[in-house]
Amino acid sequence: MTDKKNLVTVGLVVVAILVIIESIILIDNISTTKTNKVAVDGGVPTVSQVVAPEPDLMMLLKADKPEVKVGEPIKITLDLTDKSTHNIDGIEAYVKYNLTAFDISQMEYSDKLSAPDIAMNSIKKGMVLVNYLISSPADGYALDASGVRLLSFVATPKVAGEYSFEINTSNENKESVSIVAEHAQKGNVPRTLPLASNKLTVRVVAK
């Protein structure tokens, strides 16, 4: 009787071992199949990227000279252009510059827009800024490809080096951010239009 029990026990153990072996072989086959499938499909999966279209509007900085000497004034202009046509209710432009490298003077504003609500050189922020709230014409300023000059100023360099002027378009606190607001019908909220900008680099050499 004992021998029969032992035989039954041994048989069960053998069956269990066979089941485990078959399971390992099955898992290995599944892994191999998946690996082969990836290889057949090209090896490395690719991710499609959606490319956003370029904005119609652009704030463009220009200088009358790409290189100046220390103490030699340079005129900087800021224009707003449009590839199509939009009616504009408001514009806020903030130009960042190196406060220790330049003195700012002779700020002038657009003669096509109403007088700016705010226009100043902020020494605290190191920015030249101009904000327009357009109340006339009633349906907003019609901006097109010919563009409009928003601002010009004179920058006088104090230190030799290579420096940048650029449009501030984003920051963590969403303060002093350049925007253009499209005209909205009465009762609607103005829409902020997508905006592109450039960075102007000026080289300053010693006298």
Chain position carrying tokens 């605290």 = 124
Q: For residue 69, count other CB atoms closer than 10 A to its CB.
A: 12
pLDDT confidence band for 30 (50 / 70 / 90): very low
Taking the C-alpha atoms of residue 140 and residue 38, their distance in angstroms, rounded to an integer, is: 57
Q: Which helix (H) or strand (E) segment is 195 a member of?
A: strand 195-197
Could you tell me which residues come within 8 angstroms of residue 123 by beta carbon, excluding any fewer than 6 positions away? 99
Taking the C-alpha atoms of residue 11 and residue 7, their distance in angstroms, rounded to an integer, is: 6
More confident residue, 182 or 185: 182
Residue 28, pLDDT above cutoff 60: no
Chain-centre distance of CA 13, in angstroms? 67
pLDDT tens-digit readout, 136-181: 888 899 999 899 999 999 999 999 999 999 999 876 666 789 999 9
Residue 13, pLDDT above cutoff 50: no
Q: For residue 63, count other CB atoms closer than 10 A to its CB.
A: 16
pLDDT tens-digit readout, 56-104: 999 999 999 999 999 999 999 999 999 989 999 999 999 999 999 999 9
pLDDT tens-digit readout, 79-90: 999 998 999 999
pLDDT value for 24: 41
Q: Which helix (H) or strand (E) segment is 21 a member of?
A: helix 2-41
Q: What are phi and psi of 48, to 5 degrees?
A: -75, 135
Taking the C-alpha atoms of residue 183 and residue 143, their distance in angstroms, rounded to an integer, is: 11
Q: Can you list the alpha helix ranges (DSSP code H) found in 103-160?
A: none
pTM of this structure? 0.72
Domain covering 57-205, topology: Immunoglobulin-like (2.60.40)
More confident residue, 68 or 187: 68
Residue 16, pLDDT above cutoff 80: no
Chain-centre distance of CA 152, in angstroms? 24
Could you tell me which residues come within 8 angstroms of residue 45 by beta carbon, excluding any fewer than 6 positions away? 38
